[in-house]
Chain A
């Protein structure tokens, strides 16, 4: 079977929606039940081992537990959603077929759509979030990732994809406006914009913390910019259309940049590439502005291709590496920090474990992808199960891999890398003493040996999750592909390059998206500002967006508690609240489809996210502990010694409290608005006006 562009358009077996898809060979029913019973028992036993295993547990049990849970979720829950709740119908022509234009709308092979969708939803979140949440131990994060994905995240992605499929591929904001009302639509738009700003700041902070004081890493990342420009020129003028060829060249050059970084780090040029956090933050801000204003073909598009291919390759390599190496988990199932005194971020296991791991369990951002490109490519409705539900499970599995990579590090090393100096002490001796006193032995010599092994001056205070994840990944890769210490150093910097590369891609595309959103908003006030080709408007709105995330990034860099303590929970709250908005839209659609008896499908995760986010938001604003509550932090700072930086820190803490409050108010508005619509319809006081497009019979041929 070949997959030419013509074949990719084939699809749509014209079959009813009830039975299973046609296949040449089927497992007898009895054998099937025995198989599923065995998978259930194996999954339950693996979870039991994880809860009982303590320090002796092998990571393979986590892999087996998660795979069994995903298989059961996909086979039974996703099938139930597809057949009973959404009644997916392969006879119905999709927007890709009805609105086919050769550009955005095009019926495409389902596995290609799956790959495209997965590449779009997989970002740094499922890698970094579980790494940070490992401060509670491996078990809380693992259980939340597995259960949250099956019952929450995958449901959200799947239902929103279905809603968009039945509405000409409309976006979440458009659906919120049409299904809930104008207020809902406006609130969704503002929530997305604010969330984008926080996301860009927090991922920027992850890059800054990974590169600060690291000439090897900094050189490698700096080198990717001229490499991208070379790729852009090659693709534009030398070999137009040869994207794969160009990306292969870019990949080889990126590998060469890693070796070049090693040479630089040991040469007299090392100081040229050794920067403080503030300097790197300023560099990122300038980069963000330039990337947003430069022609896309020159930097952004070629780097986007390179980043996507490397991302998929590394995810695959990590999965294979974890399965082959299956390291022992060094982290206990629970740590003492479940009480809220953790060094990486403050807050108890509830609600902060569920906020810290957003992508990988439930991510509101996915709803933007599920109502973006994906529904415009799907040839058959029933493909939505694999694409919407299945790809979220795969992303969840990536989060499990990241958790394993982080938890396979010695626990003392994990905390030494991830804890800020303001919490554990400003010298290596003080930090190791503090961490050892917590019951996680580590010493300065061990940390220095490790730093030498990966070609870094120090690995202390490298907050943000990326360095510890890179360490864990490097250990797995170097065990998988056997080699000496130089191999470990290469893999560490390869992992840093991989994380930084696609974080930078998110930053430049995110800045553009934010700029377009702002121009759309301002265009309703002054139409000229809405013209995306008008240079002053373009530069002005780019500057506003960059300044907004740049400010939060700067405040994170100068934060004595490491920045992640305040920004990551803010990002988690924003992301989960966006998921709440998406689930409000999904519930409204179900009610209007006269499927109110299945409302619990979306209402259960919605209720959970609302409780988690509002509890976390309330604690982040009003908790009396300065490490946790923004207002308490501002008060504590105002009572302490006043320096030139204190006033800024007080302002930042109050600003963070204000942003959290705005998120909560916006989502409360959309929640109340949605409940008003649901109760109106259910009580018969309001007409259930559906915006679903009328049924059109597919004319696509049956797939061979």
Chain B
């Protein structure tokens, strides 16, 4: 049950881009800050907006 809950939370974090943000911090070797979050969002969402959502 605990594993299932962890999986659900991990899925939600992935869908909510929180994991993507963690990967961004790790890849660039920087710490979380409001400015870094905004930098990540602007690049990430711009890329996301080029991909359609299915009908």
**A interface list, Cβ under 8 A from B:** 1-5, 8, 101-104, 106, 108-109, 111-112, 115-116, 119-125, 196, 199, 203, 235-237, 240-244, 247, 296-297, 300-301, 304-305, 308-309, 312, 358-359, 363, 365-366, 368-369, 372-373, 505-506, 509-510, 512-513, 516, 571, 575
Contacts and interface: CB of A to CB of B under 8 A. Distances in A.
Contacts of B1: none
Contacts of B7: 3, 111
Contact of B10 (A109, A247, A304, A506): A109
Given A1-B3, A3-B10, A301-B41, A241 B53 contact: no
B54 A125 contact: yes
A301 B43 contact: no
25 contacts: A3-B6, A3-B10, A4-B10, A5-B23, A8-B19, A102-B27, A103-B27, A104-B47, A109-B10, A112-B14, A115-B15, A236-B38, A236-B41, A240-B32, A242-B18, A243-B16, A244-B16, A296-B42, A305-B17, A358-B55, A359-B54, A365-B55, A366-B54, A509-B53, A510-B52
A510 B23 CA distance: 27
Interface in B1-49: 3, 6-7, 9-24, 26-28, 32-34, 37-38, 41-49
B34 A237 contact: yes
A568 to B, nearest CB: 11
Contacts of B27: 101-103
A3, A108, A359, A575, most chain B CB atoms within 10 A: A3
B39 to A, nearest CB: 10
Contacts of A305: 15-17
Contacts of A235: 41
B18 to A, nearest CB: 5
Interface of B: 3, 6-7, 9-24, 26-28, 32-34, 37-38, 41-55
B41 A309 contact: no
Contacts of A358: 55
A28 to B, nearest CB: 27
Contacts of A112: 10-11, 14, 19
Contact of A116 (B14, B26, B32, B41): B14
- Of all A-B residue pairs in the complex, the 8 with the closest CB atoms, nearest first, are A102-B27, A3-B10, A243-B16, A240-B37, A5-B22, A125-B55, A296-B45, A240-B34
A366 B55 CA distance: 9
A512 B21 contact: no
A109 B38 CA distance: 26
Nearest to B28: A102
A196 B12 CA distance: 28
A506 B54 CA distance: 7
Nearest to A503: B55
B47 to A, nearest CB: 7
